[in-house]
Amino acid sequence: MKGIYKTVGAIAAATLGVLATTSHAEAFTIGGYYDGAEFDALGLEIPWAAETRIGRVGDHELNIHDIDNDADNRVQANYDSWVSGEAVDFSLVFDSLANTLTYTVAGIVLEKTEVFEDNFSDLYIRTSARQDGSSIVVDNLFLSDDTMAASIAATSSASCAAGVGCSYFDAEYLHIGDIVGDFTLTGKSTMSWLAANKPKNSQLAYQIKLVEGEPGVDVPEPTALLALGLVGLLAAGQRRQAGDR
């Protein structure tokens, strides 16, 4: 009987190792980069996006908006303290229990309630620069979800050389995929421009575009079922041994 316990215990330990490996394999991933045309060709539906821009004259600079950018379903705020070359902190938090997206930029907090998606599996961080001599970098990224928390070395950046002229499609999209459950993304954005040619009207901006994931289903994986079965076998053996005493 001791030999059986020893064998089952070894198998259980190995199974738990497989479970740990499986969990790690399901961590979020960096899916690569797209330009504007490539991203549009994906045909993705973007139910929500968080946006920061250098400034739309007479309008807001920060917002969370829906797929239609409907003013009645958008939260927004002003931020007029941009300094060329200065990094600004941001965070985006999804709370599925509260049905809320919270976007914080330079200490200004925007909260969008009634976000009824169960989860968001993918983020696309879009940077765009459409004013001559301007540039933007989003970096120092850190993401935590229901599986792990880790720094992301990849960045999203865009620039428009002086005298070139840049369009809507001159943008870069950094794809982060396989996100599980609630998440928190933090990072920094740095906008730069020529003193005599400051951008306006969203000519220098970034967005965090959210793609809805498949509905979550709590079904144990085969390795998890095996582990549960082994635990049950060990418990049954212990009861039997206690009864033989």
For position 46, which CATH number holds? 2.60.120
**Is the predicted pLDDT of residue 137 greater than 50, yes or no?**
yes
Q: SS3 for 77? A: strand
Residue 244 lies in a domain: no
Task: Tell how far CA 212 is from the center of its chain.
Answer: 11
Within 10 Å of residue 168's Cβ, how many Cβ atoms?
Answer: 11
The structure tokens listed for 230 are: 């082994």
Residue 130 lies in a domain: yes
Residue 237 lies in a domain: no
Q: What are residue 223's phi and psi, to 5 degrees?
A: -65, -35
The percentage of the chain sitting over the pLDDT mark of 90, rounded to a whole number, equals 69
Residue 143 lies in a domain: yes
Q: What are residue 38's phi and psi, to 5 degrees?
A: -65, -40
Closest CA to 62 of 207, 236, 210: 207
Residue 194 is part of which domain span?
28-219
Residue 4 lies in a domain: no
| Residue 103 binned pLDDT confidence (cut-offs 50, 70, 90) | very high
CA angle (167 as vertex; 54, 57 as ends), nearest 5: 30
Res 221: pLDDT = 43
Number of separate domains in the chain: 1
Res 58: pLDDT = 83
Average pLDDT value for residue range 64-91: 96
Residue 153 lies in a domain: yes
Q: SS3 for 208? A: strand
Residue 132 lies in a domain: yes
| Residue 9 binned pLDDT confidence (cut-offs 50, 70, 90) | very low
Residue 107 lies in a domain: yes
Res 163: pLDDT = 78
Average pLDDT value for residue range 173-187: 97
Locate tokens 């738990």: which residue?
16
Beta strands in 67-167 (DSSP E): 75-77, 86-95, 100-105, 108-112, 120-129, 134-144, 149-152, 156-160
